[in-house]
Amino acid sequence: MRIAMIGSGYVGLVSGACFAQFGHDVVCVDKEAAKIARLRQGEMPIYEPGLDKLVADNVRAGRLSFGTDLAAAVGDVDTVFIAVGTPTRRGDGHADLTYVYAAAAEIAEAIRGYTVVVTKSTVPVGTGREVARIIRETQPGAAFDVCSNPEFLREGAAIEDFMKPDRVVIGVESERAREVMSAIYRPLNLIQTPMVFTNIETAEVTKYAGNAFLATKITFINEIADLCEKVGADVHDVARGIGLDGRIGRKFLHPGPGFGGSCFPKDTLALAYTAREANAPQTIVEQVIEVNNARKRRMARKVIDFCGGSVAGLTVGVLGLTFKPNTDDMRDAPSLDIVPALQTAGARIVAFDPEGMEEAARMLPGMTFARTAYEAATDADVLVVITEWHEFRGLDPRRIRQLMRQPRIVDLRNIFNPEEMRGLGFAYEGVGRPAPRT
């Protein structure tokens, strides 16, 4: 199949490279000429494990290319995927669909034969119908179908998620379009991946419902963690105790400083807005948004209280800035709330992140960046773990203790063993874990 992927950001680039790996001919289009130039040189605009090799292999095989000319890319393809950004619109929390609708209008002018136009971007319910209307009005004689094919990619594991997904959801309403989409995903059919065919609206809602449920699960265990701290329980044992129930499951029951990233914050906001417009308010989702935002702000207070009520004049070492490990994505990361609050309280911040420091430098001014985790701990009065990068779990606590001015750790991801750390002389505080009995 011949595929055009409009948008070469996270979703578009990963999806395009994976479709090429399936054996399709794929061209990824983006208006940012500098990004396309970098991709043609083999430079990735994002950090995603394995993506550079996947792209290079498929470019070398002649199945993957990059360009800025949408009309040239779209003219003779079987399928066009819209994978442009849908950021939160300022003022009301709704998804900004400007780029989606602009892409639809350009696609309409360029398609020549029958084409399946697929929304891959995360879009509110009703977007697919509007895309179809735009194409019909722009080129009344166009032969096309519109489908919804939401992505369910986890940053840091996106290639595996694409190649071995739990399911593929496709909103489609013509047999011809269904045949095209089935052909595109034939490699996954061969390994018996569940293919969920629905109407367009159902596919659009499914994406938002899935992310909202996972965000709710995270927020739930974070509130349980707060209770555990007050009553002397251990949230990890609670999470295991409930997660072994097959109706609940163990995933997304990891306490922390609140969720962030490119999906959960904007998707919960967009779902809440869409639901209010439809007169079907999602009060649980709205509460999740409020609780999560408050939690991220409260984490700085947790550090300050641990330091005796003030961090003025103290050096705070920070481990991890991105919203999760194995990505350089800083969007809505908890660090964006925690670090400025500590700076406002008078702390000096020395931070290290394996991949996120370039982006963090633009979003978090006034910090000092360390070259290693150990350098971030050097002469620190307290060390704060914000992102659970795997390499932090392998740090030598004895060396950290020798480097720090005061051996104090606030572990917002619970990567260290409390008893071990206290046994080594650290003042230690995690999330949802009982204080030592006196």
- Position 360 in a domain: yes
- Position 401 in a domain: yes
Which one of 198, 224, 249 terminates a domain?
198
pLDDT of residue 436: 79
263 is catalytic: yes
**413 and 369 co-located in one domain:** yes
- Tell me the percentage of the chain whose pLDDT exceeds 70: 100
**40 and 158 co-located in one domain:** yes
pLDDT band at 301; cut points 50, 70, 90: very high
**157 and 98 co-located in one domain:** yes
From 28, 147, 263, 307, the catalytic residue: 263
- Position 92 in a domain: yes
Domain that holds residue 273: 216-429
**309 and 421 co-located in one domain:** yes
Rounded CA separation 238/354 (Å): 31
**268 and 186 co-located in one domain:** no
- Position 207 in a domain: no
**246 and 345 co-located in one domain:** yes
What's the chain's average pLDDT? Answer: 95
CATH number at residue 17: 3.40.50.720
**341 and 310 co-located in one domain:** yes
pLDDT of residue 217: 98
**275 and 182 co-located in one domain:** no
pLDDT band at 438; cut points 50, 70, 90: low
Task: Name residue, tokens 């370039």.
Answer: 358
**23 and 155 co-located in one domain:** yes
**368 and 408 co-located in one domain:** yes
**32 and 72 co-located in one domain:** yes
**179 and 228 co-located in one domain:** no
* Tokens standing for residue 102: 């602009």
- Position 127 in a domain: yes
Which one of 164, 198, 232 terminates a domain?
198
- Position 209 in a domain: no
Radius of gyration of the chain (CA): 24
Q: Over 80: is that where the pLDDT of 90 sits? A: no
Tally of structural domains, the chain: 2
Q: Where are the alpha helices (DSSP H) in 94-199?
A: 98-110, 127-138, 158-163, 175-184, 186-190
Rounded CA separation 404/400 (Å): 6
Which one of 131, 164, 198 terminates a domain?
198
- Position 280 in a domain: yes
DSSP structure string for 21-61:
HTT-EEEEE-S-HHHHHHHHTT--SS--TTHHHHHHHHHHT
pLDDT in tens, 23-41: 999 999 999 999 999 999 9
- Position 205 in a domain: no
